[in-house]
Amino acid sequence: MTGATLSDDFPTVAPFDESYSGSDDAFVVKFSPIGSSVIYSTYLGGSSLEYDYEIAVDGSGAAYATGTTESSDFPTLNSYQGGLLGWNSCYVTKLSADGSLAYSTYLRGYAGSAGGVLL
């Protein structure tokens, strides 16, 4: 599951990012197959606004989150596009099945828009 939170005490479990760091942070939560426990729950964001719009999961259990960010310090790893262009950018972040960051990149031209991912 994905979304955005204004909460600095959002419940994190085995987080890749355990700290709230902006006015709105995105979050990603993975539940056990029967929904009785949380595998991981993490913030996803930089020092400004983030909104997660879509999430997809592949056959290995990796999650792909997409959304928009206004943060120049959004977490990136193995980036296709390493920096914010203009005042906002789309992003694509892959979290491995255990919640570790596999890759995260800005993805934007000069006209900002939210995007989704289809697997």
Is residue 71 in some structural domain?
Answer: yes
Is residue 118 in some structural domain?
Answer: no
Is residue 117 in some structural domain?
Answer: no
- The answer to whether 2 touches 52, Cβ cutoff 8 Å, is yes
- The answer to whether 24 touches 6, Cβ cutoff 8 Å, is yes
User: pLDDT for 40-49, tens place per residue?
Assistant: 999 999 999 9
Cα 38 to Cα 50: distance, rounded to the nearest angstrom: 22
Q: How many domains does the chain contain in total?
A: 1
Is residue 112 in some structural domain?
Answer: no
Q: Where are the alpha helices (DSSP H) in the chain?
A: none
pLDDT at 111 over 50: no
User: pLDDT for 61-89, tens place per residue?
Assistant: 999 999 999 999 999 999 998 888 778 88
User: pLDDT for 10-57, tens place per residue?
Assistant: 999 999 999 998 789 999 999 999 999 999 999 999 999 998 889 999
Cα 78 to Cα 22: distance, rounded to the nearest angstrom: 23
Is residue 48 in some structural domain?
Answer: yes
Is residue 119 in some structural domain?
Answer: no
Domain housing 82: 2-107
* 41-63 burial code (b ≥16 CB/10 A, e <16): bbbbbbebbbbbbebeeeeeebb
The pTM of the full predicted model, rounded to 2 decimals, is 0.86
User: pLDDT for 89-102, tens place per residue?
Assistant: 899 999 999 999 99
Is residue 21 in some structural domain?
Answer: yes
Is residue 79 in some structural domain?
Answer: yes
pLDDT at 51: 87
Q: Using CB atoms within 10 A of its CB, is residue 111 exposed (0-12), middle (13-18) or buried (19+)?
A: exposed
Cα 74 to Cα 20: distance, rounded to the nearest angstrom: 12
